[in-house]
Structure 1
Amino acid sequence: MTHPPTPVGRHVLADLDGIDAEVLDDVAGLRAALSDALTAAGATVRQVVAEAFEPHGVTLVALLAESHASVHTWPEHGRALVDVFTCGDAADPELAVALLAGATGGELREIRTIARGGEPVRVVEPLSPGLARTWELGRVHLRESTPFQDLLIADTAHGVTLFCDDERQSAESTQLIYHEALFVPAALSARRRERVLVVGSSEGVVSELAIACGATLVDHVDVDAAAVRACAAHLPYGYTPETLAAAERGDGPVRVHYADGRAWVRGDGPRYDVIVVDLPDERPDDADNQLNRLYTRDFLADCRDRLAAGGVVVSQAGSAAVWRDATLRAAWDRFHAVFAQVRYVGSDEHEWSFLVGGADLADPDLAGLAYEPVSIDAEFLRTRTVAPAGLRNR
């Protein structure tokens, strides 16, 4: 028996805020804006039905050859809730939402993309030449392209998971293990830990750990504002929209700055006890990738020059697995070229290694640390700070 093809589509749900009340009550203007946005995004509009309500508010439904779209407005709140569902590849529902936001002057506060029908959606994550890992996705919370990367936040077997350019960055079930290994040994290696600089780490977990470990000020610098805000809106760890908004205002010990991390550390400025560089993996085969600028000896030297006395720099350094350790070996050589002392930290979230550099590293000791780690104890500090023999013997 021949079965008909399984329907496959994308259903985008979006919240638009900050729209003038007059725009949200203008039936003719909204009808034109919705039709134009859908058409420009590749959809075929069959008809648009609109209904105005008293004392205010409008609902529009567009019937498409590809499926449908709808807009519901609340002028008194400056808000419109939008959904666009399209089947096939001819139309781009995310683009339609973005164009509608631009036409109405709205700010895209939240967007979710849900795959409808078809086989399970998967992400194929490259690990090394000839080897990849496949992630089967459940609910897709967000799919967005920023000027810097493609973001995906979705449910996986590891909980809510963040992908950047199809590489897993953090997952609900293991993110604390990763972030504790990144920050806690580095904080213990520093002579003080009152002032912390975080470059990257869009989830905000490191900022929270720094405060828990005794920091009184955290400057969090990330070039991608859309990524930081998406993580706050959709990840069940790290910043919430409320705590991020406070950090963006500088209201509290954490201050978020949307800026180039390389430019931030160059030249004069405040000195830090701990500088954390938490980025996606180095991409040596992609010479034009902006991430690579933060994986250079010059950048490490700039970080070193921004340290207070007894301060340390810690960076995500790749994997210790011998079949994919090229970036770790390169990072090891850079750290030893820049810092008088280097300490290796291997995470129990097995893919990750970190390097800590400074002029005079303190012996890591949990005694007196205000924060009690979940995944790090004295035995971890004794055993997981021994570098693999392949690195030690270089």
Structure 2
Amino acid sequence: MPPTPAPPAPLPAGRHVLAELTGVDAALLDDVDALRTALHDALVAAGAQVRQLVAEAFVPHGATVVALLAESHASVHTWPEHGSAHVDVFTCGTTADPERAVRLLAAALGATGTHLEVVTRGGPPAVVTEPISAGLTRRWALGAVHHRATTPYQRVLIADTAHGVTLFCDDERQSAEATQLVYHEALFVPAALLAARCERVLVIGSSEGVVSGLAVAAGATRVDHVDIDPDTVRACAEHLPYGYTPGELAAAERHEGPVHVHYADGREFVERSGAEYGDYDVIVVDLPDERPDEPGAQLNRLYAVDFLARCAQRLTDGGVVVSQSGSPALWRDATLRAAWSRFQEVFGADGVVYAGCDEHEWAFLCGTRPAPPDPVAHMQARLQALPVRPTSLDALTLRTRTVAPITLRKGIFPAAP
């Protein structure tokens, strides 16, 4: 018999971190010796083996430092006149952490801003393993990766999947090309229909910008969009085929037009901006699921009763707060049950309207005071006058989707299977 062929050698694989550092002292960016030391020390501390360092100073200003590594290479290119440096660190294997090297270098240079992208090069086909609930995960096979970065708040990935271009944050799918409209219409349209008016809208989270567009299409003349993570919002505008375009986002950042983007903590914006921005007809809170197993998670503060109550205080008469509230599936509905309890505490049992979605993992809650006597009839009547016709819901779905699961309506909480 012919000999069994040897298995193919594993494909070379590595991570390439591309970064832009801003707010760096100009004199430091012209100091070749200091740059050499900072790059060397950052690489070594991150586990890399530095074999050679080459540096060149330019006239009238600027410098380049290149490190040859046992794992691959790293470089720094500086623009002192702009207070910025462009950095790349590419390492193969697992002994060195290129992202940590960039973070350490940024700290050594005193950078006030760090924007980085992480590109996976080579290796087997990439996957994302998404946590669903205790003991359950979902694996997403990735095609082309359009953007990969770690911001000060989360790990962000935008890549092709079977659902089209897909956004992941901390390995959790946030939106996908195939289903994003179903999600965003289920989030926003019922709230817009419940509200007495839809002229002033506040959006907290929702990095993609789809809700801002829906609000303007529904008649809003002012949309304040608050997000704590500018890197993610800008990446979404650049790489997602839905939501803001780069030009639309740039205009919104300049506060030109009906949409004004604010990069701020959502809780602080709600608490401090009343005198400047006034109250809202609709407040949309669109965040990843709360994380009870991470008590210090920043987003948990925006799921608290006191934050919901503060949002209620910022409503105009007949205004509505709507929040992403988790999944109605029995085996993962703890987030939804907790949200239901909070909404009833703030708005009363008659002031909470459930808004489901065709995708089982999404459910939303609307809170309003006072609530219409028949919320569903109220929404159905207003649907005809809505300036934009929703794609994924009509009068009948408004009735079927607003029937909350019996676990919420009857307070029946079976043990998870």
Following the alignment from structure 2 to structure 1, what is the Cα–Cα distance between the partners of residues 211 and 293? 28
Give the TM-score normalised by structure 2: 0.82
Identify the range of structure 1 (371-380 vs 302-311) with the bigger mean alpha-carbon deviation: 371-380
Letter of the structure 1 residue corresponding to residue 308 of structure 2:
L
Q: Is 1:117 the counterpart of 2:125 in the alignment?
A: no
Following the alignment from structure 1 to structure 2, what is the Cα–Cα distance between the partners of residues 19 and 231? 27
The alpha carbon displacement at 1:260 in A equals 3.0
Q: Which residue of 1 aligns with 2:344?
A: 336
Q: Which residue of 1 aligns with 2:399?
A: 382
Following the alignment from structure 1 to structure 2, what is the Cα–Cα distance between the partners of residues 334 and 178? 22
Structure 1 residues 346 and 215: CA distance shift in structure 2, 3 A? same
Alignment of 1:255-334 (within 5 A): 255-266=260-271, 269=275, 270-334=278-342
SS at match of 1:46: strand
Following the alignment from structure 1 to structure 2, what is the Cα–Cα distance between the partners of residues 160 and 18? 33
Following the alignment from structure 1 to structure 2, what is the Cα–Cα distance between the partners of residues 318 and 115? 31
Q: Is 1:149 the counterpart of 2:154 in the alignment?
A: yes
Following the alignment from structure 1 to structure 2, what is the Cα–Cα distance between the partners of residues 143 and 366? 40
Letter of the structure 2 residue corresponding to residue 293 of structure 1:
R
Contact 1:115 1:140 in 2 (8 A): no
SS at match of 2:330: coil
Following the alignment from structure 1 to structure 2, what is the Cα–Cα distance between the partners of residues 206 and 144? 24
Contact 2:151 2:232 in 1 (8 A): no
Equivalent in 13, 17, 21 of residue 18 of structure 2: 13
| Structure 1 portions without partners, runs of 5+ | none
| Structure 2 portions without partners, runs of 5+ | 1-5, 412-417
The alpha carbon displacement at 1:184 in A equals 1.2
Identify the range of structure 1 (41-50 vs 184-193) with the bigger mean alpha-carbon deviation: 41-50
Contact 1:143 1:153 in 2 (8 A): no
Superimposed CA distance per residue, residues 318-352 of structure 1 (whole angstroms, 9 cap, x where no aligned partner): 11112212221222232223224222111223310
The alpha carbon displacement at 1:382 in A equals 3.0
Give the TM-score normalised by structure 1: 0.86
RMSD over aligned CA atoms reads 3.1
Letter of the structure 1 residue corresponding to residue 363 of structure 2:
S
Q: Is 1:349 the counterpart of 2:359 in the alignment?
A: yes
Following the alignment from structure 1 to structure 2, what is the Cα–Cα distance between the partners of residues 296 and 99? 35
Give the count of matched residue pairs: 393
The alpha carbon displacement at 1:118 in A equals 2.6
Superimposed CA distance per residue, residues 21-68 of structure 1 (whole angstroms, 9 cap, x where no aligned partner): 887676656544443443343222211345677888765542111111
Contact 1:196 1:272 in 2 (8 A): yes
Identify the range of structure 1 (207-216 vs 182-191) with the bigger mean alpha-carbon deviation: 207-216
The share of aligned pairs that are identical, in percent, is 67
Following the alignment from structure 2 to structure 1, what is the Cα–Cα distance between the partners of residues 44 and 31? 20
Q: Which residue of 2 aligns with 1:253?
A: 258
The alpha carbon displacement at 1:15 in A equals 4.3
Following the alignment from structure 2 to structure 1, what is the Cα–Cα distance between the partners of residues 18 and 265? 31
SS at match of 2:383: coil
Letter of the structure 2 residue corresponding to residue 64 of structure 1:
L
Q: Which residue of 1 aligns with 2:169?
A: 164
Letter of the structure 1 residue corresponding to residue 204 of structure 2:
V
